[in-house]
Amino acid sequence: MASKLEALERWVNEVAARTRPAKIHWCDGSEAEYQQLVKEMLADGTLIELNQQTHPGCYLHRSNPSDVARVEHLTFVCHKNEEDAGPNNHWMDPAEAHAKIDALFDGCMEGRTMYVIPYCMGPIGSPLSRCGVEITDSPYVVANMRIMTRMGKAAQERIEREGTFVRGLHSTGELDPERRFIMHFPEERTIKSYGSGYGGNALLGKKCHALRIACNQARDEGWLAEHMLIVGIENPQGETRYIAAAFPSACGKTNLAMLIPPEGYRRDGWKVWTVGDDICWMRPGEDGRLYAINPEAGFFGVAPGTSTATNSNALQSISRDTIFTNVAVTADNQPWWEGLPGTPVTDWQGRPYDPANGPAAHPNSRFTVSAKQCPTWSEKAEDAQGVPIDAIVFGGRRPSLLPLVMEARDWAHGVLMGAAMGSETTAAATGAVGVLRRDSMAMKPFCGYHYGDYFAHWLSFDQPGMNLPKIFHVNWFRKGKDGRFLWPGFGENLRVLEWMINRVEGKARGVETPVGIVPAEGELKLDGLNLPREAATELLDIDTAGWQAELDAIGAYLDTFGTRLPERLRQEQRRVASGLSADTAPRAATA
């Protein structure tokens, strides 16, 4: 296939000379191409056909048991200057990294097809979108990239018009954990991944491009590439407010993106619209507001825990035309994982199911599906200009201290909230209770440069003429003295989002505390909710002594970023700490 873009053709030829594939296929993204790939993968066992009566167009992929998750310790960010990578990344000198991984690529595609995948992250016609090309020897990667990105002919045409693209080179290699690296070269806008077929390591448009490389692009070009969902909340008057929210893993991100309003809210006419469940690119508009797109076209979701009770919208989304990875199957060949009805007969490795071997579905088993199949999918996800963001929400899993919701007093305070966020471990997960892991803006595994510089970039948006979103922090996971969650969560979280929207619209006054603004009495709508008054009070309680210790810990965390920490963020930490010292009397806000 002839390409007008010489730089792309030259790079493809260079890669082919190194990897020596049997043939080269330029992907056009068509349905016919996808069906041919599926046919070939069914023939060689890469895919297994699932029950086409219950799950039409659905297939199962079983990955190598040593290749089932992202590998942070083998993921490198290769800035020319080690300091630019920061303490939040593993660094390798770019020349050394290229040499190390290029040696692995030598001849690795012999006997295989080399696929050239032009793709666009975001709507094809959006000025906020950015393009890339992934070269891979995995047809499974091609099939997933077709679902997750705008892939094929239209993307290639945009690349030829613009002349720029992120380069991604991938090979599954031998799937040897000892010969596995995921390398990022931010200055070169290049990614090289070898030895893994797992999504986060192999679908290079996702975390590698849309976060680690894109956040470098965003810093250079004046926008934000964030690990955030985007959700629209439509009130009974038909007005929609858009919220972007960042949470570490296991904090209900996908559930919030596809939230189902409580019965009373549904009856009153509230609706929730899903724009994105994982990644958000935000850029200032001419009116000073931040406008956001979801750069992805699909969901790469965790299957276990997805059920009618927890997220029926996600479950409906994956009833057809879905690629499942490492789930179990039932006797009649339906996909299965813990939380679903039915009984598995074959586990994720293809063995007869035996509880002694562990869970039937791998805990990180996945589904890949087009976002358009979600019942709450918003057509605004295809809007070239993006949606205006009214509120940014940070959150973590904290059993105590952090209230259900609080609002930052200004942008700098909000950046501090995001920088300080994190989750506490549980005994079930790690054997150690209450170990707090900071995960600033939920970007710890994905921020492709020094966190200190990243915080400075966030702060740089606070300029005259900007009409920035309000920033909030939520904690759905606060527990009472009996160890049970105080807040029911799931759809009931809409009550908290409604308060945020009321704050945005000037309809709620809130109560100022040294750590943020919390709902005033009666502002959090609790009717129809069986929530004892003492629980409502405890959810919003501000423990001054506990917060003083927290601010000291936040200060120590910020110290780890050394001289690159913005002084303004340090001043903000001191301001909040000083406010707490002046506020020695315990206080509680009531709902």
**Annotated active-site residue in 108, 120, 251, 280:** 251
Distance between CA atoms of residues 71 and 200, nearest Å: 9
Distance between CA atoms of residues 403 and 381, nearest Å: 32
Distance between CA atoms of residues 395 and 475, nearest Å: 6
Is 70 one of the annotated binding-site residues?
A: yes
Is 424 one of the annotated binding-site residues?
A: no
Task: Specify the residue for token string 């079930």.
Answer: 428
Concatenated DSSP letters of 481-504: TTSSBSS--GGGGHHHHHHHHHHH
Q: Which residues pair with 564 in a beta bridge?
A: none
Task: Specify the residue for token string 């020897």.
Answer: 137
Is 383 one of the annotated binding-site residues?
A: no
**3-state SS class at 313:** helix
Is 171 one of the annotated binding-site residues?
A: no
Is 165 one of the annotated binding-site residues?
A: no
Task: Specify the residue for token string 């009974």.
Answer: 236
Is 253 one of the annotated binding-site residues?
A: yes
Is 420 one of the annotated binding-site residues?
A: no
Is 88 one of the annotated binding-site residues?
A: no
Calculate the CA 467 to chain-centre distance. Answer: 25
Q: Is the dihedral of CA 524, 527, 530, 532 positive or negative?
A: positive
* 131 part of the active site: no
Is 111 one of the annotated binding-site residues?
A: no
Is 247 one of the annotated binding-site residues?
A: no
Whether 246 and 260 have beta carbons less than 8 Å apart is answered as no
Is 238 one of the annotated binding-site residues?
A: no
Nearest to 391 by CA among 528, 526, 230: 230
Whether 192 and 181 have beta carbons less than 8 Å apart is answered as yes
Is 207 one of the annotated binding-site residues?
A: yes
60 φ, ψ to 5°?
Answer: -115, 135
Is 366 one of the annotated binding-site residues?
A: yes
Concatenated DSSP letters of 150-199: EESHHHHHHHHHH---EEEEEE-TT--GGG-EEEEEGGGTEEEEES--SH
Whether 254 and 304 have beta carbons less than 8 Å apart is answered as no
Is 199 one of the annotated binding-site residues?
A: yes
Distance between CA atoms of residues 269 and 500, nearest Å: 18
Is 194 one of the annotated binding-site residues?
A: no
Is 30 one of the annotated binding-site residues?
A: no
Nearest to 489 by CA among 262, 248, 247: 262
Is 33 one of the annotated binding-site residues?
A: no
Is 250 one of the annotated binding-site residues?
A: yes
Concatenated DSSP letters of 351-419: SBP-GGG--SS-TT-EEEEEGGGSTTB-GGGG-TT-EEEEEEEEE---SSSS-SEEE-SSHHHHHHHHH
Is 255 one of the annotated binding-site residues?
A: yes
Is 227 one of the annotated binding-site residues?
A: yes
Summarize the annotated binding site for GTP as residue ranges.
250-255, 366, 397, 490-493
Detail the residues annotated as belonging to a binding site for substrate: 70, 198-200, 249, 364-366
Cite the annotated binding site for Mn(2+) by residue number: 207, 227, 278
**What residues are labeled active site?**
251
- Known binding-site residues equal 70, 198-200, 207, 227, 249-255, 278, 364-366, 397, 490-493
